[in-house]
Each structure stands twice: as structure tokens, then as C-alpha cells.
Amino acid sequence: MNDLPVVGAQRQQQLQDAIALSKNMLETAERGDWEQIIELEKQRREGMMAGLKEPVAVDEAQGVNDSLQTLMQLNDQLTGVVQRARSESAEQFAALQSGRSAANAYQSVSKQR
């Protein structure tokens, strides 16, 4: 029989759902589907808010803590993927700008001849 009260069992399920969404967000970020991540983040936030609305009982504190630790680790991984993607985008943008500058300089020289 389950020792957790209904609130505790619901909370654990909501936190497990948030963990599953976080894993999905990580996979989605690795694919570069940023719009889907926004939707998944919204779902995750709503679930976590509902799961943490009520006070945590002493007997469920360790389980909640473990779930939150897992969520933080996944979030750190997600942040790393996002930062790498942002850096790559910045590098691509800089290369594009450099290419445009070179093309403009070439056109300027061509017009002078």
C-alpha cells in the first residue's frame, strides 16, 4: 500500500512529469527546435508550480529533494546546450557580416575601375 498521502503522491507524479519534460526539452534543444522548447517549458513550469503549491511533509522531503536535484541537473545540461547554440549562432552571424563586408568592399573597388 502507498504510504504517501494523495497530495504527496500527486506531487511526486507532477515532479516526475517535470523530469520527463526536462529530458524531452534537452533532446529538443539538441535538435535545435527552439519553438517546441518554449512550449515544453511552459508545461513544465505549470506542473512544477502545481506540484510545489502545498507544503512538503517531512516524510516526503527526501523524495522531493531528489526530484528537484534531478531537475536542476537537467536544467544545467539544457543551459549548456542553449549557450553552445547561441555561441554558434553568434559565430555564424559574425561570419555572415564579415562576408557582407568583403562583398561590399569588392563591389566598391569594382565600381572604381
Q: How confident is the model at residue 86 (pLDDT cuts 50, 70, 90)?
A: confident
Among residues 93, 11, 103, 26, the alpha carbon closest in space to that of 57 is found at: 11
Could you give the domains of the chain? 6-112 (1.20.58.380)
| Residues 60, 21: Cα–Cα separation, whole Å | 22
| Nearest to 41, CA basis, from 16, 22, 68 | 22
Q: Is 56 left (phi over 0), alpha (psi -120 to 50) or beta?
A: beta
pLDDT at 77 exceeding the cut of 60? yes
Kindly report the pTM of this predicted structure. Answer: 0.74
Per-residue model confidence as pLDDT tens digits over 7-32: 788 999 999 999 999 999 999 999 99
Q: pLDDT confidence of 53, banded at 50, 70, 90?
A: confident
